[in-house]
């Protein structure tokens, strides 16, 4: 049994090498990725149907292949099934078998090559261990445990975490700059109402909190994006120095 599992994992790695390959066959790899995505989506949300067996009834999920939405241009499940051939290899008291995808009636297409790898995947007893694509590097991988893995390696996981932390820090910095800018605009308006400010509001607000690193260009972009509201024209005119 152990040797069978080892062989299944080796076969799974061959499929992964195909998916992660480069160069020729890019269209077939892209099609295979679409098939696998549809397969993964169907597995994550299986539909259920009533059943009745020997007087017992209940509800059970439909097999994944019956709930898949095959990508446009891909052969249907029935067409894929009709192109599958079983090969028997005598072994001991019985035989082992191999299921292959064949397309002898016409030239092979990128979809046929993709279906060939897909058949190899779904008939592999270790297919549940297929992981990916990794959101960091886009590679497929063999999961080490039954627990779903998002990233292919600790390195990708740590890099993704670092990127998320950087993005979050930048978002917080941006929010703090907007808050400081709003505070500065309110201060400029109070001074403008009393005629105690001579600089245009963007120039004055950019110097309101030096540590906030606010520039007139930042204020202009924030106003254009709707993130910030500048003083009204009436309030700007009261300063005696329209911008």
Contact, 231 vs 224, CB < 8 A? no
DSSP class of residue 51 equals E
Residue 141 predicted with pLDDT over 80 = yes
Contact, 99 vs 85, CB < 8 A? yes
Is 209 in a helix, a strand, or coil?
Answer: coil
- Identify the pLDDT of residue 63: 86
Contact, 222 vs 178, CB < 8 A? yes
Output phi, psi for 91, to 5 deg: -150, 115
Residue-range domain boundaries for the chain: 2-42+61-152, 160-238
Above pLDDT 70, what percent of the chain?
92
* 108, HSE (Cβ side, Cα atoms, 13 Å): 14
Output phi, psi for 193, to 5 deg: -65, -25
Output phi, psi for 71, to 5 deg: -60, 155
pLDDT tens, residue by residue, 7-63: 888 889 999 999 999 777 899 999 999 999 999 999 887 778 776 767 777 787 888
Predicted TM-score (pTM) above 0.85: no
For CA atoms 127, 133, 135, 138, the dihedral sign is positive
Per-residue b or e along 150-174, where b marks 16 or more CB atoms closer than 10 Å to that residue's CB: ebbeeebbeebeeeeeeeeeeeeee
The whole-angstrom separation of Cα 101 and Cα 124 is 14
């Amino acid at each position: 049994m152990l040797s069978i599992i080892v062989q299944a994992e080796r076969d799974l790695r061959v499929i992964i090498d195909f998916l992660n390959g480069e160069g020729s066959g890019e269209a077939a790899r892209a099609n295979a990725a679409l098939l696998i995505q549809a397969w993964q989506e169907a597995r994550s949300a299986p539909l259920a149907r009533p059943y009745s067996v020997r007087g017992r009834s209940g509800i059970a999920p439909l097999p994944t292949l019956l709930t898949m939405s095959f990508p446009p241009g891909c052969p249907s499940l029935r067409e894929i099934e009709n192109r599958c051939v079983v090969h028997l290899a005598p072994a001991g008291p019985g035989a082992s078998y191999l299921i292959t995808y064949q397309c002898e009636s016409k030239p092979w297409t990128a979809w046929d090559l993709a279906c060939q790898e897909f058949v190899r995947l779904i008939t592999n007893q270790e297919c549940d261990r297929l992981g990916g694509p990794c959101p960091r590097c886009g590679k497929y991988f063999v999961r080490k445990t039954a627990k779903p893995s998002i990233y292919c390696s600790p390195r990708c996981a740590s890099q993704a975490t670092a990127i998320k932390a950087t993005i979050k820090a930048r978002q917080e910095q941006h929010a703090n700059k907007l808050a400081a800018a709003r505070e500065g605009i309110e201060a400029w308006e109070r001074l403008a109402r009393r005629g105690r400010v001579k600089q245009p509001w963007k120039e004055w607000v950019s110097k309101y909190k030096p540590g906030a690193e606010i520039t007139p260009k930042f204020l202009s972009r924030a106003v254009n994006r709707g993130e910030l509201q500048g003083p009204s024209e009436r309030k700007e005119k009261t300063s005696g120095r329209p911008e």
